[in-house]
């Protein structure tokens, strides 16, 4: 069946499905991006990376921008407050394989905003423009921007920043429809995303509260956006992206796998993490991921508590496999 929704076009890149995996600190490493890409993400984004850290060759930052290749196209997101350093960092990530350089004007985390990075940049529109112009001038690939409405309810600057971005040569905009001060409280106001789409001629990607496939399609259609970005809602539930892709293709989404199959995928994720990063690194990292997978079935909370205390991959595997066996045994009895 032919696609019912056009590709998201960012520069020369045609991105299908027009569904983007959001940048999430400590989460969207190369392993997760490669595992989640086939579910229905046309574009994946790295963890957001400090331009200052890249300037000094931070090993951790270089790991954050590393790629498998199978998850391409990949956008690398940078944060910082200095136009020259941001431009240098953009050149570094481009040389390391970034297909798109994304500028972070959206992160509300204090560790970022206390240095005037992320959403704190929105308090100074002139500086936002200087950063955008410096980054666009530094690389030969598309530059995009992810932002919030403004610093607080009294300072919605997203339309002004967007118009300056378009004039500076930015090729697409993502709007998370909350202010920085809201963090993730309240509801994302998609009327602002629709207003942004009407105000600019470059592609707009909508972000915020997209936890249901059918609702995501409705929001996409009503706002007129060119694509959508999925963040927290997809953690432990990559099948959300599959459902959205099916709807965009005009077909009915497949049922979400039951708890046993979801846990099997969680174990696969765990094994790949251990293989790629080593047990010492993977075990603490995977605790947060398993916390997302271990939801929605009887005994999930207790299992999650036990898994958070395991110290080895083998101990975690035994806990999860035991739960899978119990779930399947209970299902057979119920049948």
Which sequence spans correspond to the domains of the chain?
8-248, 259-334
| Beta pairing class for 204-207 and 100-105 | unpaired
In sequence order, which residues have a C-beta less than 8 Å from that of residue 217 and are 6 or more positions away? 244, 247, 248
Domains 8-248 and 259-334 are alike in CATH topology: no
What average pLDDT does the segment 159-164 reach? 98
Position 1 scores a pLDDT of 38
Between the CA of residue 299 and those of 99, 133, 239, 255, 302, what are the distances in Å? 43, 52, 22, 22, 5
What average pLDDT does the segment 133-145 reach? 98
What's the pTM value of the predicted model, to 2 decimals? 0.95
Question: Residue 238 corresponds to which tokens in the numbers above?
Answer: 């990559």
Confidence of residue 335 (pLDDT cuts 50, 70, 90): low
The per-residue pLDDT for range 283-314, each reduced to its tens digit, is 998 998 998 999 888 889 999 999 999 999 99
What average pLDDT does the segment 136-164 reach? 98
DSSP collapsed to 3 states, 143-165: EEEEEECECCCCCECHHHHHHHH
Q: Given 96, 107, 128, 141, which residue is catalytic? A: 107
pLDDT at 329 > cutoff 60: yes
Range name among 135-139, 144-148, 258-262 with the lowest pLDDT average: 258-262
What average pLDDT does the segment 157-171 reach? 98
What average pLDDT does the segment 317-326 reach? 93
Position 4 scores a pLDDT of 66
Residue 107 is among the residues annotated as catalytic for this protein: yes
- Nearest 5°: the CA angle 183, 282, 54 is 60
**Fold adopted by 259-334:** 1.10.1200
The per-residue pLDDT for range 213-243, each reduced to its tens digit, is 999 999 999 999 999 999 999 999 999 999 9
Question: What CATH number was assigned to the domain covering residues 8-248?
Answer: 3.20.20.70
């Amino acid at each position: 069946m032919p696609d019912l929704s056009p590709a998201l076009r960012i520069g020369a890149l045609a991105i299908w499905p027009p569904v983007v995996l959001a940048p999430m600190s400590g989460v969207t490493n190369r392993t997760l991006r490669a595992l989640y890409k086939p579910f229905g993400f046309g574009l994946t984004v790295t963890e957001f990376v400090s331009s200052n850290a890249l300037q000094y060759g931070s090993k951790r930052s270089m790991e954050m921008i590393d790629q498998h290749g199978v998850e391409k196209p990949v956008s690398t997101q940078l944060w910082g407050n200095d136009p020259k350093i941001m431009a240098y960092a953009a050149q570094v990530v481009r040389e390391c394989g970034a297909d798109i350089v994304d500028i972070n004007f959206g992160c509300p985390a204090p560790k970022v905003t206390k240095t005037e990075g992320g959403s704190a940049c929105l308090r100074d529109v002139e500086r936002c423009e200087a950063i955008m112009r410096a980054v666009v001038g530094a690389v030969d690939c598309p530059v995009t921007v992810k932002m919030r409405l403004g610093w607080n309810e009294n300072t919605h600057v997203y339309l002004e920043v967007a118009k300056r971005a378009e004039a500076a040569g930015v090729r697409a905009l993502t709007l998370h429809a909350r202010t920085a001060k809201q963090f993730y409280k309240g509801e994302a106001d998609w009327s602002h995303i629709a207003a942004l789409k009407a105000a600019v001629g470059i592609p707009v990607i909508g972000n915020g509260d997209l936890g249901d496939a059918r609702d995501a399609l409705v929001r996409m259609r009503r706002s007129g956006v060119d694509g959508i970005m999925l963040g927290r809602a997809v953690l432990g539930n990559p099948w959300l992206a599959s459902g959205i892709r099916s709807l965009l293709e005009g077909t009915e989404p497949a049922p979400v796998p039951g708890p046993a199959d979801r846990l099997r995928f969680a174990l696969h994720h765990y094994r790949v993490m251990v293989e790629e990063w080593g047990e010492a690194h993977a075990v603490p990292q995977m605790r947060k991921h398993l916390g997302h997978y271990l939801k929605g079935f009887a005994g999930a909370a207790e299992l999650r508590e036990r898994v958070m205390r395991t110290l080895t991959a083998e101990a975690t595997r035994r806990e999860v496999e035991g739960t899978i066996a119990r779930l399947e045994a209970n299902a057979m009895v119920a049948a």
